[in-house]
Structure formats: C-alpha cells, structure tokens
Amino acid sequence: MGRDLSPAETLALVPQQEPFRFIETIDELDREHIVASYRFPEDADFYRGHFPGNPITPGVILVEAMAQAGVVAQGIYLYALKFDAGELEKIVTVFTDASVEFTGTVKPGQRVTTTGRVKFFRHKKLRAEVEMKLDDGKVVCSGELAGMGVPR
C-alpha cells in the first residue's frame, strides 16, 4: 500500500516552489515529528517594504514557513505511509488554520529551524504543535497549526 518516504523525497513533493518555498532541508522526519530549516535570503522582495531601514520577516511568512514544514511536508509523509503513489498524486495538502504566538523576529539572512510534532492525523486531517527557532536557540514563534489533504 504506502511507503516510507525519505526527507529528500518528501521535500520534492512539497507543492510550494521558489520564491514561495520556505523549506531548504528536512533534517528529521518520522510519524511523530519533523525538523526542517530555511535561511531567509537578504534580498527577498518583501524586505523592501517590511520595514525600510529595519527589515524583518513578516509574521505571515513565518507562519507559512511553519505550515510548509509542520503541516504540508509532514502531511505528505504521513499520507505516503497510508496511500500508494497513485493516490498520493491525487492529494494536495493545504494549510487550514493556526494559533501562533510570536516571541521574536527574523532578520534578513537569518536561518530558522522549524520543529513540528503531530497531535493527530486522521481522515486526511493533520494538527501539529510547531515551533520556530533561530540558530542561537531563541524561539521566534510557536503554536498549533492544522491542514488537510484535498483533491488536486
């Protein structure tokens, strides 16, 4: 039926692409958690207006980065365990809701690591506790995110 995807295979199936993909590597991945990282490029277009002279990564982009790892990539991995490749191709994982607390900022050029822990996965729905940290260990944001598999 299904199969265990490698982190690289899972990343290749994430539908978001440049310039809107906020995962560079998946460092750990199993049925219960994911650890992924991304370095925000200093020349990303959104920094021009957020905020001139003191750019920071918009919160909505940080939430998107957490969702891409903790919901989309994790969801793809979990679906692949249950469904064959043909069925997996018919499903796209979409982010549906979030409750996030911000405790820091991400500057241009900084690398973040996102860790997601599965709370539940059933009926193509996934809910996860997700946390984003800077390389120095400072938590930037954390919360609960959810998503679901829908037909392509």
Which of 21, 39, 50, 124 is the catalytic position? Answer: 50
Closest CA to 105 of 34, 37, 54, 42: 54
Q: Which residues of 26-57 are buried (b: 16+ CB within 10 A; e: fewer)?
A: beebeeeebbbbbebeeebeebeebeeeebbb
Separation of alpha carbons 44 and 46, rounded Å = 6
Q: 149: part of which helix (H) or strand (E)? A: strand 139-151
33 catalytically annotated = no
Q: Give 10: exposed, middle or buried? Use CB within 10 Å, 0-12, 13-18, 19+.
A: buried
Which active-site residues does the annotation give? 50
